[in-house]
């Protein structure tokens, strides 16, 4: 089994790295606005990931997508996609590699894309050239390269998990590159942190300030003032004495001051700074860049709409759908699937309805779905006769009703003629026969019209 078979870039080709407008490749420290670095305003990704809203949005999205099963589907002659199995694709979709489950693999895939803007999955092939393993690489250890004629290669730093123990360069066909928000270059994805990093940093600063504030028994700092001039030595001694005896765990104790000393608060209180509102605003900004409804991570009020499916459908359409379809297309092309074969995430695990709405929906679908298909939605086994669609017969076409009315008129005319006959027994027998014939003809015509 070989990881990049037929794949190392020829030395004859001159390779050059791609750079973004930021002047580097996926930097850990970025400018939140022009000139921020000179003003000592930094957005560090490793710190921003610790902000609760960033962490919550990324883990919510990645977990919700990872829990969806990936299906191998094939299109039939009628254009309908149905789930199938294929020894060339099914094994790697079910178990992408030896050290990750399917859920762990897709969670890793999405977290890499959301945090860095890029997911690099290295293909491992067998002797037939079939992809049997996929490895999500550290995005900061992979770099896209371009040749002078526009061919794309990837430089991969050593990674024992992916069987790359030395630095290598592989062609694009051996890498699945899923990228997000290519603002500066088609091969360079940008994370939502590019847009929410400053808000997340502000939120972290608010939390750090709050931790210091409440660590000081909710007592702000201040200034000790004296009515007259004091020596530097005396000022230092008073400052040390005050911090030792009336700050931290000792905050709130009673201080006795003489010689006109006076304590004045310097820092504004948390209430004056509207800390809670500011913290909520920073979290909402983060949610907007990830396209996650704020209530999903506990920020803001829950919608008044109690329809679970509608809320999940909104979340899917504005946040998850593009990520899911990107991953599906990357898999289809990365695994070199034939025309009419592809992958689909099973959305039933996401767009679940409450039990009452689900039963009502299945009941209304009885004219378009078989009983077994509806039972499958409830994870129930097929039953005898469950593979047929049944329709009620209370509705008839206008043509069938007109044909029935004509037969009834003919029957009435025949009955009048029978009443004129002298033999009453004959009249009764002929009437029964005519009525039976009428029913048979009506049924035949109705069936014929329905078949048309």
Q: What is the pLDDT of residues 132-174, one digit of tens each?
A: 999 999 998 899 998 888 899 999 988 777 666 788 899 999 9
- Judge whether 390 lies within some domain: no
Q: Measure the CA–CA gap between 322 and 291, rounded to whole angstroms.
A: 11
Looking at the structure, tell me whether residues 120 and 249 fall in a common domain. no
Looking at the structure, tell me whether residues 211 and 237 fall in a common domain. no
Domain count, the chain: 3
Looking at the structure, tell me whether residues 210 and 294 fall in a common domain. yes
Choose the final residue of a domain: 266, 284, 300: 266
- How many alpha carbons fall within 13 Å on the CB side of residue 370? 11
- How many alpha carbons fall within 13 Å on the CB side of residue 139? 27
Looking at the structure, tell me whether residues 164 and 281 fall in a common domain. yes
- Judge whether 133 lies within some domain: yes
In terms of Cα–Cα distance, which of 227, 207, 217 is closest to 248?
Answer: 217
Looking at the structure, tell me whether residues 49 and 179 fall in a common domain. yes
Please answer whether residues 292 and 61 qualify as being in contact, where contact means their C-beta atoms are separated by less than 8 angstroms.
Answer: yes
Looking at the structure, tell me whether residues 7 and 64 fall in a common domain. yes
Looking at the structure, tell me whether residues 165 and 260 fall in a common domain. no
β-partners of residue 30 are 43
- Judge whether 377 lies within some domain: no
Contacts (Cβ under 8 Å, ≥6 apart) of 148: 13, 14
Looking at the structure, tell me whether residues 68 and 186 fall in a common domain. yes
Choose the final residue of a domain: 337, 352, 367: 352
**Gyration radius from the chain CA atoms:** 37
Residues in the chain: 452
Please answer whether residues 157 and 115 qualify as being in contact, where contact means their C-beta atoms are separated by less than 8 angstroms.
Answer: no
Contacts (Cβ under 8 Å, ≥6 apart) of 312: 350, 351, 352
- What distances in angstroms separate CA 333 from CA 110, 178, 260, 326, 337, one per listed residue? 18, 11, 80, 11, 6
Contacts (Cβ under 8 Å, ≥6 apart) of 413: none
The residue ranges of the chain whose pLDDT is under 50 are: 1, 3-12, 20-29, 37-38
83 in helix, strand or coil?
strand
Looking at the structure, tell me whether residues 340 and 412 fall in a common domain. no
- Judge whether 393 lies within some domain: no
- Judge whether 205 lies within some domain: yes
Contacts (Cβ under 8 Å, ≥6 apart) of 61: 110, 114, 290, 292, 319, 320, 323
The domain containing residue 417 runs over which residues?
Answer: 398-451
Looking at the structure, tell me whether residues 93 and 179 fall in a common domain. yes
- Judge whether 342 lies within some domain: yes
In terms of Cα–Cα distance, which of 141, 143, 142, 178 is closest to 15?
Answer: 143
Q: Measure the CA–CA gap between 102 and 99, rounded to whole angstroms.
A: 10
Please answer whether residues 18 and 188 qualify as being in contact, where contact means their C-beta atoms are separated by less than 8 angstroms.
Answer: yes
- Judge whether 372 lies within some domain: no
In terms of Cα–Cα distance, which of 96, 97, 69 is closest to 83?
Answer: 69
At residue 18's C-alpha, the angle toward residues 38 and 34, to 5°, is: 20
pTM of the full structure? 0.69
β-partners of residue 133 are 124
pLDDT for residue 29: 44
Take residue 324 and report the two structure tokens written for it. Answer: 């899911």
Q: Measure the CA–CA gap between 140 and 238, rounded to whole angstroms.
A: 51
Q: Measure the CA–CA gap between 102 and 238, rounded to whole angstroms.
A: 63
Looking at the structure, tell me whether residues 441 and 296 fall in a common domain. no
- Judge whether 347 lies within some domain: yes
Choose the final residue of a domain: 298, 330, 352: 352
Looking at the structure, tell me whether residues 226 and 212 fall in a common domain. no
pLDDT for residue 257: 62
Contacts (Cβ under 8 Å, ≥6 apart) of 48: 54, 193, 196, 197, 200, 201, 204
In terms of Cα–Cα distance, which of 371, 409, 376 is closest to 388?
Answer: 371
């Amino acid at each position: 089994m070989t990881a990049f078979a037929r794949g190392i870039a020829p030395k004859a080709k001159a390779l050059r790295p791609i750079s973004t407008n930021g002047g580097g490749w996926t930097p850990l420290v970025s400018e939140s606005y022009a000139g921020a670095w000179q003003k000592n305003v930094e957005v560090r990704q490793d710190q921003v990931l610790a902000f609760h809203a960033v962490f919550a949005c990324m883990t919510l999205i990645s977990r919700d997508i990872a829990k969806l099963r990936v299906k191998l589907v094939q299109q039939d002659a009628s254009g309908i996609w149905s789930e199938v199995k294929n020894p060339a694709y099914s094994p790697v979709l079910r178990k992408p590699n030896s050290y990750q489950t399917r859920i762990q693999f897709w969670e890793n895939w999405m977290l890499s894309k959301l945090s860095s803007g890029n997911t690099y999955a290295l293909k491992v092939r067998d002797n037939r050239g079939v992809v049997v393993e996929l490895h999500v690489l550290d995005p900061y250890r992979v770099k896209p390269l371009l040749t002078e004629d526009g061919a794309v290669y990837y430089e991969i730093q050593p990674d024992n998990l992916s069987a790359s123990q030395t630095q290598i360069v592989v062609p694009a066909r051996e890498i699945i590159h899923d990228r997000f928000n290519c603002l500066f270059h088609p091969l360079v994805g940008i994370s939502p942190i590019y847009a929410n990093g400053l808000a997340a940093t502000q939120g972290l600063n608010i939390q750090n300030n709050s931790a210091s504030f409440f660590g000081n028994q909710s007592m702000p700092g201040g200034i000790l003032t004296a009515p007259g001039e004091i020596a530097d030595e005396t000022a230092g001694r008073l400052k040390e004495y005050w911090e030792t005896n009336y700050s931290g765990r000792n905050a709130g104790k009673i201080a006795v001051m003489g010689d006109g000393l006076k304590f004045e608060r310097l820092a504004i209180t948390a209430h004056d700074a509207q800390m809670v509102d500011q913290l909520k605003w920073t979290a909402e900004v983060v949610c907007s860049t990830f396209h996650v409804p704020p209530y999903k991570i506990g920020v803001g009020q829950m919608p008044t709409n109690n329809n679970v499916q509608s809320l999940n459908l909104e979340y899917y359409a504005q946040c998850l759908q593009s990520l899911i379809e990107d991953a599906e297309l990357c898999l289809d092309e990365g695994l070199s699937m034939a025309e009419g074969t592809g992958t689909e995430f099973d959305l039933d695990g996401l767009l679940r309805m409450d039990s009452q709405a689900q039963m009502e929906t299945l009941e209304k679908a009885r004219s378009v779905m078989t009983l077994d298909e509806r039972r499958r939605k409830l994870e129930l086994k097929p039953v005898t006769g469950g593979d047929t669609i049944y329709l009620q017969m209370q509705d008839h076409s206008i043509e069938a009703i007109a044909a029935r009315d004509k037969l009834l008129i003919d029957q009435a005319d025949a009955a009048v003629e029978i009443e004129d006959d002298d033999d009453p027994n004959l009249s009764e027998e002929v009437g029964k026969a005519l009525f039976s014939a009428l029913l048979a003809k009506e049924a035949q015509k109705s069936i014929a019209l329905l078949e048309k």
